[in-house]
Amino acid sequence: MPTRSRIPVLAASLLAALALGGVQHPALTHSAASAATRPTTDTGPLPVASGEPDAKIVYLTFDDGPHPRWTPQILQVLDQYRAHATFFVIGQQADRYGALVRREHAAGHGIGNHTWSHRPLQGVSYARFRQEVLRTQQVLGPLGSHCLRPPYGAMDSHTRQYAESLGFQVVLWTIDTRDWQRPGASVIVQSVLSRVRPRSIIVFHDAGGDRAQTVAALRTILPRLRAAGYEMVPICR
Ligand SMILES: [Zn+2]
């Protein structure tokens, strides 16, 4: 369960994100206001819109892991093509496969929060939202960034506000590969290569079913992106 001592850390990261212009209008809480006077080394999430808007950068993201079979294969392909990604992990999976989360982080990838149970956050109470996010964050500890990807991308009018009040930035995507539908590796490849542009945020999955097509597609996508001059960096770290 989350503890009160975690709150100032989260609040500090919210302020760091605010200072970088990455988060719009959160209601500052009491603890956030007091954290403002303290120095912090916590940089919070990387704001999506920072830097040159048309820099040849793409953000690869992998949801629903870690998974003992597929995550290591994906890590191997990323390493082969010197690509860095962000893994939006499910808290229950991260708790069970902590060694894989540590491996992801040690390899230079970012770790984002994809809730504890992967139930949609749409329509949930703040108490429930808080539990889903902070229970996961407690498992991730210092390896976790302060980026939140709601399961299924399902949001309601409270989602961003709730996230921001806990010091998180919501990170969705601009290219959905729909790899979870297993349309064939070549369809996954085309879904990326036909739409990629500077600062695309691309969603794949490293769990939730047989991900052989995803692994195969990455073996084509990553060298093509590199050949086109793209750098693949974590959106959250
Ligand atoms: Zn998911």
Domains of the chain and any CATH numbers: 8-44 (no CATH), 54-232 (3.20.20.370)
Residue 48: pLDDT band with limits 50, 70, 90:
low
* Token digits of residue 77: 């392909």
pLDDT at 126 over 90: yes
Whether 64 is catalytic is no
| Distance from residue 235's CA to the centre of ligand 1 (Å) | 17
Whether 205 is catalytic is yes
Please write the tens of the pLDDT for every residue from 166-198.
999 999 999 999 999 999 999 999 999 999 999
Residue 24: pLDDT band with limits 50, 70, 90:
very low
**What mean pLDDT is reported for the chain?**
84
| Distance from residue 31's CA to the centre of ligand 1 (Å) | 31
> Which of helix, strand or coil describes residue 92?
helix
- Other C-beta atoms closer than 10 Å to the C-beta of 174 total 15
pLDDT of the residue at 51: 72
Annotated catalytic residue within 84, 109, 114, 205: 205
> Which of helix, strand or coil describes residue 176?
strand
* Contact of 77 with 222, CB cutoff 8 Å: yes
What's the whole-model pTM score? 0.80
Residue 53: pLDDT band with limits 50, 70, 90:
confident
67-71 contacts at long range (C-beta below 8 A, 24 or more positions apart) = 67/93, 67/97, 67/100, 67/206, 67/207, 67/208, 67/211, 68/97, 68/100, 69/211, 70/206, 70/207, 70/211, 70/214, 70/215, 71/97, 71/100, 71/104, 71/206, 71/207
Annotated catalytic residue within 42, 63, 64, 206: 63
| Distance from residue 152's CA to the centre of ligand 1 (Å) | 6
| Distance from residue 160's CA to the centre of ligand 1 (Å) | 17
Residue 29: pLDDT band with limits 50, 70, 90:
very low
Please write the tens of the pLDDT for every residue from 207-235.
999 999 999 999 999 999 999 999 999 99
| Distance from residue 43's CA to the centre of ligand 1 (Å) | 25
| Distance from residue 207's CA to the centre of ligand 1 (Å) | 9
pLDDT of the residue at 128: 98
